[in-house]
Amino acid sequence: MQLYFSGASLRNTARSLHLIGVDVSPRTILRWIDKYTNLMERYLSTVRPQVSDTWRADEMFLKMKGDLKYLYALLDDQTRFLIAQQVASTKYTADVRPLLELGKAVAGKKPKSFTDGAANFHQAYLKEFHTARTETDTEHIRHIRLAGDHNNNRMERFNGELRQREKVMRTLKRPDTPILSGYRIYHNYIRPHEALNGRTPSEAAGITVTGDDKWMTIIQNAKKQREGSQTAEL
């Protein structure tokens, strides 16, 4: 998991494992990624991050079996925690309400400020975040500037991070691919960020994964939960 999500291709991951005496095919590694990503996703969905009240949204294009798709993502401004993501077929007309619904479910709240630059986000915002009462309404910032308070640089940095990883993956196979879910886990719980003083977004959001091998900690806790044991504390 660490080799692949930190930048190695499936083939190079298999080669690295061969050097330590583990002979597996790239296809087997992909099956492992699918198995353990799904296991970790179910477990981590029960852990609530303490994100801020300012969220950002954006989209980027991806190739899936040669077809153009768009990955919509919701990022917390302060912790860089990737709250939710959604794959759609269009850029400006896709219904992104499920993305905002999932964001509220993951965070247990809606933001006080929401920044994006696409027209279809406004329709979803009106249904999911907007209220008639000023004290409970979410401010929708739709005008994105190149500099200043209303830029979307933090979201763009995440897009660039994923774009670099996508170059190694070559192409994704399906919208529900475990690769995107696995990268979300890697971004949130494994990879330290310079902007967070070496912490992971999960640590900035109040979730600490113990041990040197964070992948193993999460997998072991997820396995205990699946087996009906008492959920281990992260």
Alpha helices in 129-187 (DSSP H): 153-169, 178-185
Overall average pLDDT of the 76-100 stretch = 92
More confident residue, 172 or 20: 20
Question: Strands 113-115 and 139-141, how do they pair?
Answer: parallel
Q: What is the dihedral of CA 122, 180, 184, 187, to 10 degrees?
A: -110
> Distances from the Cα of 201 to the Cαs of 84, 104, 177, 234, in angstroms?
13, 18, 23, 14
pTM over 0.85: yes
Closest CA relative to residue 142, chosen from 158, 127, 123: 123
Overall average pLDDT of the 200-210 stretch = 96
More confident residue, 109 or 65: 109
> pLDDT per residue over 167-199, tens digit each?
666 556 677 788 889 999 999 999 999 889 999
> pLDDT per residue over 137-166, tens digit each?
999 987 655 444 445 667 777 777 777 666
Report the CATH architecture of 54-161: 2-Layer Sandwich (3.30)
> pLDDT per residue over 44-85, tens digit each?
999 999 999 999 998 888 878 778 888 899 999 999 999 999
Question: Percent of the chain at pLDDT above 70?
Answer: 87
Count other Cβ atoms within 10 Å, centred on residue 78.
Answer: 15
CB proximity list for 139: less than 8 A, separation 6 or greater: 112, 113, 114
| Domain boundaries of the chain, sorted by first residue | 2-47+179-226, 54-161
Measured CA to CA, the distance from residue 234 to residue 214 in angstroms comes to 10
Confidence label for 234 from pLDDT (cuts 50, 70 and 90): low
First-to-last C-alpha distance (Å) of the chain: 19
